[in-house]
Structure 1
Amino acid sequence: MGTFEELVAEGAAVPLEGWDFSWFEGRATEERPPWGYASLIAARLAVVSAALDLQTGGGEVTASAPVLPPRMAATESWPPNALVASRRLPLVVRAADAGPLPFRSSSFDLVISRHPVVTPWGEIARVLRSGGTYFSQQIGAGTNRELTDFMMGPQPVSPARSVEVARADAEAAGLEVLRLEPVSLRVEFFDVGAVVHFLRKVLWTVPGFTVEGYRDRLLDVHEHIQEHGAFVSTSTRFLVEARKPQRG
């Protein structure tokens, strides 16, 4: 365990490309959702002819599937991530997170996304074929609010990421919600360097975070971890599966 300054500097120096959290091993832990998202999408990718991965990050999750469909496409808005993903997946297209999607209507049997920044429900419904499915693991409302509140003071929890809003938006786009399952998960940070890297990588936790802007609060986090052994927070996730109705 280094000094406060050493740990902060270490967390600030970790590259941000991709969506790989292996750097946190031994420094932070997060419970996994019970459903096993990677296994669920692997099973679905193996049986469709055309699939789209929205906001793929570095393409890590989709590329882990043993079998990809004959037509496998992905979108990513951040150039460094798009470059990483293009090394793993056959077709990665730069596209804004909120759409529009650069694909023809009724192009895909399956659309997937893991932790999308936003969910463009109307565009998803447009590119899905009749009977096609959207399958996604999403970040829920108030995720890691303990860390947000510690750094920023008490903050209101926006309903934008709630399961209620997800259901309403999916149905408004003409999709039938088949599964909507929320879960709360324990998160533990074992050093302040892990907190720094997390806040740099997961930008919505503390919007506008910089080390210099939050140095005093980071010192408080460091002292809290020294006293209690960890900083404990709670992440929220939900699994959503929605289907485009069959024509006729």
Structure 2
Amino acid sequence: MTSRSPTGRRTGDAAFEELLTEGATVPVEGWDFSWFVGRATEERPPWGYHRLLDDRMSRATAALDLETGGGEVLAGISRPPALLVATESWPPNVAVARRNLRRVGGTVVATGTSRLLPFRDASVDLVVSRHPVHTPWPEIARVLAPGGRFLSQQIGAGTLGELAEAVRGVPQDGPPRSDQQTGPAVAAAEAAGLRVVDLRQATLRVAFHDIAAVVHLLRKVVWTVPDFSVERYRPQLARLHERIVAEGEFVAYARRFLIEAVRPE
């Protein structure tokens, strides 16, 4: 049986199954989040990473983007440097990134699982990374030329913890990851020989308007619920679906921090 909620959203078992199927079949390659328009919203950090990225790229001669995903963010710069290289470890994303970065003259290097950067010492004057899974601070310091700069927007500890708890039914296990906290990030940067010149934090509201958006995000951002599958968490997804229908949305919070560091002359 299917009915309609006061907001006009379809309810019932049939609607739930349709939404599950839709969320489970949307392609997850790349970092294009346009599919979520009208289905989920995320507040943006106040510092404007795209604007800062565009400014730093316009002043660089040789730049490197780590963990570029599908290259969507990097492809948005207006004045690319003479040499622009990106790395990506997930094979399905490599082809997407190569296609997206053609317009800015970027080259994509597939890195596999190695945390070593396949570039010469002091070979670039700018390294950037948006939402890296791992930040290889010693390698960043090694490839940066003296006076070079690292700019990164990072995922903070506890991001989407409310969603993970709603899906798993229990709070997240263990202490926060040290590489998702500002203190350890600053310490790691300084230990690698870099000087931190900017550090900012923000907590951002994220709202999901249907269960398909939840399923798609959990398939795409796999570290939120690492063992996620629709079948494994079907009962929890059904309860969350009912909650979204009743309340109109499910709200969680993303934590972000911006860190910028330079290699001393």
TM-score by length of 1: 0.97
Q: What SS is found at the alignment partner of 2:100?
A: coil
SS at match of 1:60: coil
Residue 227 of structure 1: how far off its partner (Å)? 1.3
CA distance in 1, matches of 2:166, 2:75: 36
1:195 corresponding residue in structure 2:
214
- The Cα offsets for residues 104-147 of structure 1, whole Å up to 9 and x where unpaired, read as 01011000000001100010000000010000001000101101
Report how many aligned residue pairs link the two structures.
Answer: 246
Which residue type is aligned with residue 11 of structure 1? G
Structure 2 residue 32 is the aligned partner of structure 1 residue 20: yes
1:158 aligns with 2:176: yes
Which residue in the other structure is 1:109 paired with?
A: 125
Aligned to 1:85: 97
- 1:158-178 superposed Cα distances (whole Å, 9 cap, x missing partner): 142111111111111111011
Q: Is the 8 A contact 1:98 1:120 kept in 2?
A: no
Structure 1 window deviating more from structure 2 (81-90 vs 109-118): it is 81-90
1:51/1:111 contact within 8 Å kept = yes
* Alpha-carbon distance in 2 for matches of 1:97, 1:43: 30
SS of residue paired to 1:88: helix
Q: So what's the TM-score if we normalise by structure 2? A: 0.91
Letter in 2 for 1:229: G
| 2:241 counterpart (191, 200, 222) | 222
Give me the CA root mean square deviation: 1.1
Moved over 2 A (4+): none
- The alpha carbon displacement at 1:88 in A equals 2.3
Q: Is 1:66 equivalent to 2:78 in the alignment?
A: yes
Structure 1 contact 18–85 (Cα < 8 Å) conserved = yes
2:176 maps to amino acid? S
Please, which runs of 5 or more residues in structure 2 have no aligned partner? 1-8
Equivalent pairs: percent with the same residue? 57
Read off the aligned partner of 2:248 and give its amino acid letter: G
* Larger mean Cα displacement after TM superposition, 73-82 or 93-102: 93-102
Q: Which of 1 and 2 has greater Rg?
A: 2
Q: What does 1:121-132 align with in structure 2 at a 5 Å threshold?
A: 121-132=137-148
